Amino acid sequence: MKILLLVLSFFFFSFSDGDYTLLDGIPFKQADFLTTDNLGNAYVIVGNQLLQFDKTGKPKANYSESTLGEFRSLDVSDPLKLLLFYPDFGRIILLNAQLSVQSTIHLSQIGIAQATIACGSEYGGYWVFDRQDFQLKKVDLNLQTIYQSGDMLSLTGINVNPNFMIENNGFVYMNDPVNGILVFDRYGTYFKTLTIKAKKSFQIIENELLYLSHDTLKAYHLRTQAEREILLPMSSGIKCARIESRELYLLTNDSLAFYSF
């Protein structure tokens, strides 16, 4: 345990001290969203197109679908099964590692009428927030709803309007940019709301939740509630920031930059 704590302390100190090396920079003017997987791949959404890069900035694959409306969210927690969500048609598209379609889930056909956000589950299946009855729902691999949170408007008094959701270490974190991050357990039971105003997305590394506040990358400790800032190689125009292993990925107003540290 002592060795593990020393390793984690060194890791977090390393990506906080600002000793970054730029590996590559790719011009982007209209990219809105960046995420990364645990293999170091980066994914950028440009309109309804998904672009995949390796950790050095080399293009790997792309996917585009223009007939399903807005491309709302992307979950790459499992790099072998990527989850894309299109709310206009209530569709979940599952892609393989090469960004080829594996399957499509029609949420309206399984009784979820107004899905607004979706993500995968570490324990198999999918999490979906259904605004028709204000419930977070767990759908298993047989497309059966097995867990429901109850009416979140009644439970919390919050008119939840989420734009990002992820499951990590047995908890589901659902971001509402106005009200904070709602936390649920693995059975969909509401636990608490974190008073963190993440604009669109966030990342969890060990016990810290990393999110961008204006142009500052902050780390909120989920157990101690302590918060700190992580020094970045630039201080303005940042849209998204991600860390994987010893790489830093920054999406700005005009570029996607890849750093090592």
Q: What is the DSSP string of 133-164?
A: TTEEEEE-TTS-EEEE---HHHHHS-----SE
212 inside domain: no
Q: By residue range, what is the domain housing residue 189? A: 28-200
H/E element, 75: strand 73-75
Q: Which structure tokens are listed for 137?
A: 């729902």
Does 8 reside within a domain? no
> CB-side exposure of 159: number of CA atoms within 13 Å?
0
Q: Own/partner pairs for 181-185, CB < 8 Å, 24+ apart?
A: 181/209, 182/152, 182/156, 182/158, 184/136, 184/149
Q: Do the domain assignments include residue 38?
A: yes
Residue 245 falls within a domain, yes or no? no
CATH code for the domain in which residue 107 is found: 2.120.10.30
pTM of the model: 0.91
In Å, how far from its chain's centre is CA 224?
22
Has residue 164 been placed in a domain? yes
What per-residue confidence (pLDDT) applies to 7? 34
Phi, psi of 123 (to 5 degrees): -105, 20
Tell me if residue 251 falls in helix, strand or coil: strand
Residues sharing a CB contact under 8 Å with residue 60, sequence separation 6 or more, in sequence order: 41, 52, 53, 54
Q: How confident is the model at residue 2 (pLDDT cuts 50, 70, 90)?
A: very low
**Among the residues of the chain, which ranges form H helices?**
2-14, 152-156
* Position 168 pLDDT exceeds 80: yes
- For residues 251 and 232, what is the distance between their CA atoms, to the nearest angstrom? 12
The reply to whether 258 falls in a domain is no
Token pair listed for 25: 């920079």
Report pLDDT for 199: 87
In this predicted structure, what is the pLDDT of residue 200?
Answer: 86
| Residue at 214 is within a domain | no
- Is the predicted pLDDT of residue 78 greater than 70, yes or no? yes
248: in domain:
no
Residue 65's φ and ψ, nearest 5 degrees, are -145, 115
Report the number of distinct structural domains present in the chain: 1
Q: What is the dihedral of CA 18, 23, 25, 26, to 10 degrees?
A: -140
Which tens digit of pLDDT belongs to each residue from 36-48?
999 999 999 998 8
